[in-house]
Amino acid sequence: MLTTGTRLLDVANEHRFAVPAFNISDWAMCQGIFEISEEKAAPLIVAIHPDELAHVGVDFMPSVIQRAHRSSVPVAIHIDHGTTYRHILLAIQTGFTSAMIDGSMLPFEENIALTKRAVEAAHAVGLSVEGELGTIGTTDADSEAGAKKIVYTDPDDAVRFIEETGVDSLAIAIGTCHGIYPSWMKPEIKLDLLRDIKAKVDVPLVLHGGSSNPDAEIAESVRLGINKINISSDIKVSYHRAMREVLRDEGLREPLSIQPACVAAMKVTAAEKIDLFEADGKAALY
């Protein structure tokens, strides 16, 4: 069933698990993510970044929406890291049920103003809104945009931000980065900061840059109150690594011969994330 981000995350917040938000950028990936979520009876957020939407085209969206309506698990369709008011309008016009407005690179007051405007527009037509406070790092040029230096979320600023904008959930900066960490870079989540933020706010909290972090840290972040975790790089690495292996056979040309192994590899990674986030079987709560 198709639902909103608020509906998914409020239940996750109450029952202390995290809903996976898997970024997809083609139909085979989309089908595979639906399949593994249904096999695991896990709620699902299908996340599509504006760059991914530009790649697949807006005519892709009706198929995703119809697939969500037919799903046996609750599904929200989420525009990920919209950075402009226009991105929010695009989400509304193309059938998304959840939207992220990312003003984290702006000064604090400007972030509040942009996010508040996005919330007013989205709430008027029933979309839920995720804001972001603090900056997520980035590891390479192929990952989503991020800051060169992480600016951690201040708990008191988070309280004010939520009160003044009316966001339904908040992405916080506690030490993660977009992309796959290089070998010399040691990821570390500030779990004490997460604990402090969770003690002060009531809305569900979101973790971006969830790929490549140690499983133990991710699991603890869920126990401490993270309710949505974005996964993009990890599933794409699995998908395309398998594709490179398959394409060593230069005689293959049909997608039906090439893509099933890629989707299967991606589903293994996605299933591991669903289990790690304690989302398996949680569709029964909705």
Judge whether 270 and 233 are in contact, CB under 8 Å: no
The per-residue b/e assignment along 23-54, b for 16 or more CB within 10 angstroms, e otherwise, is bbbeebbbebbbebbbebebbbbbbbbbebbe
3-state SS, residue 21: strand
Tell me what pLDDT residue 187 has.
61
Q: How many angstroms separate the CA atoms of 39 and 63, rounded?
A: 20
- pLDDT at position 225: 96
State the Cα torsion 266-24-126-207 to the nearest 10°. Answer: 70
Catalytic residue IDs: 80
Q: Are 43 and 19 in contact (CB under 8 A)?
A: yes
Tens-place pLDDT, residues 131-140: 999 987 654 5
Written as six digits, the tokens of 163 are: 């009160």
Query: Within 13 A of 273's CA, how many CA atoms are on the CB side?
Result: 30
* pLDDT on residue 143: 43
Q: What is the pLDDT of residue 214?
A: 85
Spans of the chain below 70 pLDDT: 137-148, 178-187, 210-212
- Are 201 and 170 in contact by the 8 Å Cβ rule? The answer is yes
In this predicted structure, what is the pLDDT of residue 63? 98
Task: Tell me the CA distances in angstroms from 118 to 85, 112, 115, 241, one per residue in order.
Answer: 6, 10, 5, 37
pLDDT of residue 169: 98
- Distance of alpha carbon 230 from alpha carbon 101, whole angstroms: 15
Both tokens of 198, joined, read 């969770």
Cα 118 to Cα 103: distance, rounded to the nearest angstrom: 10
Give whole-number Cα distances, 43 to 34, 36, 152, 202, 250, in Å.
10, 11, 29, 21, 38
How far is Cα 159 from Cα 169, in angstroms, rounded to an integer? 12
